[in-house]
Structure 1
Amino acid sequence: MDYEPPFLEACRKLLESSLSLDTRAAAAAAADCELPVIDLDSLNSTKHAEREECMKEIIEAAKQWVFFQVVNHGISQQLLQRLLLEQMKMFHRPFVQKSRETSRAFSYKWGNPFATNLRHLSWSEAFHILPHEPPSTADDHHKCLRSTTEAYARKGGALAEKLAEILGQEMNMKSRYFREKCLPNTSFLRLNRYPPCPIPKHVFGFMPHSDSTFLTIVFEDQVGGLQLLRDGNWVSVKPNPHALLINIGDLFQALSNGVYKSIKHRVVAAQKVERFSVAYFYNPSYDAVIESHGTPKIYRSFTFREYKQQIEKDVKETGDKVGLFRFLL
């Protein structure tokens, strides 16, 4: 199909040189896991005890699981389904059209241009969207998608802020910290598509990584494929049609001085089906200073810009992210 990225053609040498290696770990079997599911409707209860219990559940789920699911999150199923529909329309356009998307508010990426072996090759494509960035004239034909992503980003930003403030209570942080650091224009969306893959035993849909955020909110279809590294073993997450997926990012691990952890996760490649997801990355401004709350401090203070620059440098040099290890004291 003409809308598929040319993975095999562009990476043929890499594939030929790597297929002789033992890369079967990319498709290693993983046990299913049931993530905690938290009903956020309790946060609206008139009973103080119910609100406190819900906040306690959120904090414990973040500490113990890192990934957890939330229902009654305030984002309607109608909006989520409209987002999925608009996303599918965008990805099912001819590849040559998608590859020309280069505006600041809207850009297209596929694979991993810095991959040095098959384990670094992500069999996926993505649209990166800055919902609050003024669109250029080149974005005029994406009006339906933009209105939908803007509506989703407003809801997602409010949800992320609420969850971050609850998690911040564990470190006795000021309630306005996230409202001051994470403005609407500092977060972004990534629309993901994982095409059918002819060599699913040898590549990932998305390579193992941790997120460089405070929090990530994920809306996914029901295909499945997300796996988490838990206690040294990969486990598969069963999609919940009524829930959004929340996970802790690197910045919260540094901010909390290790109280919350950011763990590696990946998406396995599938041979016959395509998978869609939307990730909302809750980020601070580039100049925001991330300083650990706790003693003794595990990480030195750094700006978000410094962190992103270090990641980009490591990826270009090694094909992979090093992350918080670079900022240990």
Structure 2
Amino acid sequence: MENHRSRWFDVQSVPKSHIFSHEDRPGKEPVPVCRTIPIVDLGLQRLEMVRKIIEASREFGLFQVINHGMEESVIVEAIRVFKELFSMPAEEILKEANESGWVYMGSTSHGTKGGANLWRDNIKHPCHPLEECMKHWPRNPTRYREVIERYIVEIRRLSLRVLELISEGLGLEEGYLGGISQVQILTASNYPPCPDPSLTLGVLKHVDHSLITILAQGNARGLQVFKDGKWLGVEVVPNAFVVNIGSQLEIISNGKLRGAEHRVVTNQEVARTTIATFINPVPDCIIQPAEVLLTNSNPALYPPLSFREFVNANKAFGPHTDALQNGVISKISS
């Protein structure tokens, strides 16, 4: 543990390498916690769940779910195993990542626009097909594969349920979204306490490229969503998951749902460990507005494009680029 604590974040002030431009840094103005972001009880009557999810996806681009059917112990153990992993010396983590093929990014690996580094450690690995991908997951902690396999199986079940409720709310045929989706990527992040959170960020503002992203946000606030020209804090709800609407679902809904523009800030008091799972389309799937949503008065706003092409377009323009927000992939002009 001592090796972990003595790394880059054990400092009295934020290094220049981690200070963001005035445009991007959070600043000292407090960001209020938004109490109106819907918390959807998945034990409610079905029509009520669908209504709340669609309204939240239109207004905020995200919502939280409770009573989702995943045992709390599954979430707790997954968070715990990532804390154990991030407590290992960085050299050990990096060595195993290089040998196994998954990605570890320490703080100095996160090059962003302007050159500032993110205030986090992060690992990322694929999850589909599960049995094949597991062979390349971390071997330490020794129970990592067992614990995270169980977590991913439960996330797949939850994602299918949420996508089916969204499909129903949009008027799509049964299985429309579930049939093209995979739990493709897991990324876990450790955000250590920061001496001055006003100067740096855990994650720059962006919109996920997924259909949806399912986030276990740990024990401390840090996620913020951009709405109506201002940032709003997302509260931490015990045993809940945050569901972000991604750009692919914004396209399929022909703009009816919005991708959540969000960022992650740091805090001075406690470390924060989170797990995000990206529910993506199959790579060669053509993503375009669903025909059932189109009319003469509501034509397609986006051109057809495979998910692979979409991702490659973003990569070509560098990290933290969003193809829809920044015009890499333009809406169809009317």
TM-score tier after normalising by the smaller chain length: 0.7 to 0.9
Q: Give the total of aligned pairs.
A: 313
* Separation (CA, whole Å) in 2 of partners of 1:292 and 1:31: 35
* Separation (CA, whole Å) in 2 of partners of 1:174 and 1:24: 43
Q: Post-superposition shift, 1:105?
A: 6.1
The DSSP-based 3-state class of the residue aligned with 1:99 is: helix
Please show how residues 115-154 of structure 1 align to structure 2 within 5 Å. Answer: 115-117=112-114, 121-131=117-127, 132=130, 133-136=132-135, 139-154=138-153
* Separation (CA, whole Å) in 2 of partners of 1:65 and 1:287: 29
Residue 306 of structure 2 corresponds to which residue in structure 1? Answer: 303
User: C-alpha offsets along residues 128-155 of structure 1, whole Å, 9 cap, x if unaligned?
Assistant: 1323134447844454111111111111
* Separation (CA, whole Å) in 2 of partners of 1:60 and 1:116: 34
> For the structure 1 residues 27 and 265, does the alpha-carbon distance in structure 2 shift closer, same or farther, using more than 3 Å as the test?
farther
Counterpart of 1:220, as a letter, is Q
Please show how residues 1-329 of structure 1 align to structure 2 within 5 Å. Answer: 1-3=2-4, 6=8, 14=17, 25-34=26-35, 35-42=37-44, 50-100=45-95, 101-102=97-98, 106-111=102-107, 113-117=110-114, 121-131=117-127, 132=130, 133-136=132-135, 139-183=138-182, 186-293=183-290, 294=294, 295-315=298-318, 319-324=319-324, 325-328=327-330, 329=332
The DSSP-based 3-state class of the residue aligned with 1:41 is: coil
User: C-alpha offsets along residues 234-291 of structure 1, whole Å, 9 cap, x if unaligned?
Assistant: 1111101132111101110011110000121111122342111111111112111101
The DSSP-based 3-state class of the residue aligned with 2:91 is: helix
* Separation (CA, whole Å) in 2 of partners of 1:138 and 1:161: 24
Greater share of helix residues, 1 or 2? 1
Q: Post-superposition shift, 1:23?
A: 6.2
Say which is worse superposed, 306-315 or 251-260, in terms of deviation: 306-315
Contiguous gaps of at least 5 residues in structure 1: 43-49
User: C-alpha offsets along residues 88-120 of structure 1, whole Å, 9 cap, x if unaligned?
Assistant: 1000000111122136663212345432426x5
Contiguous gaps of at least 5 residues in structure 2: none
* Separation (CA, whole Å) in 2 of partners of 1:208 and 1:246: 16
Q: Post-superposition shift, 1:80?
A: 0.9
Counterpart of 1:66, as a letter, is G
Counterpart of 2:40, as a letter, is I
Whether the aligned pair in 1 keeps the contact of 2:226 and 2:232 (CA below 8 Å) is yes
The DSSP-based 3-state class of the residue aligned with 2:50 is: helix
The DSSP-based 3-state class of the residue aligned with 2:226 is: strand
* Separation (CA, whole Å) in 2 of partners of 1:137 and 1:257: 37
Task: Please give the root-mean-square deviation of Cα atoms over the aligned residues, in Å.
Answer: 2.6
* Separation (CA, whole Å) in 2 of partners of 1:24 and 1:322: 19
Q: Post-superposition shift, 1:302?
A: 0.9
The DSSP-based 3-state class of the residue aligned with 1:129 is: strand
TM-score (norm 2): 0.84
* Separation (CA, whole Å) in 1 of partners of 2:151 and 2:123: 15
Whether the aligned pair in 2 keeps the contact of 1:83 and 1:148 (CA below 8 Å) is yes
* Separation (CA, whole Å) in 2 of partners of 1:73 and 1:81: 15
> For the structure 1 residues 27 and 278, does the alpha-carbon distance in structure 2 shift closer, same or farther, using more than 3 Å as the test?
farther
The DSSP-based 3-state class of the residue aligned with 1:168 is: helix
Residue 47 of structure 1 corresponds to which residue in structure 2? Answer: none
* Separation (CA, whole Å) in 2 of partners of 1:274 and 1:141: 21
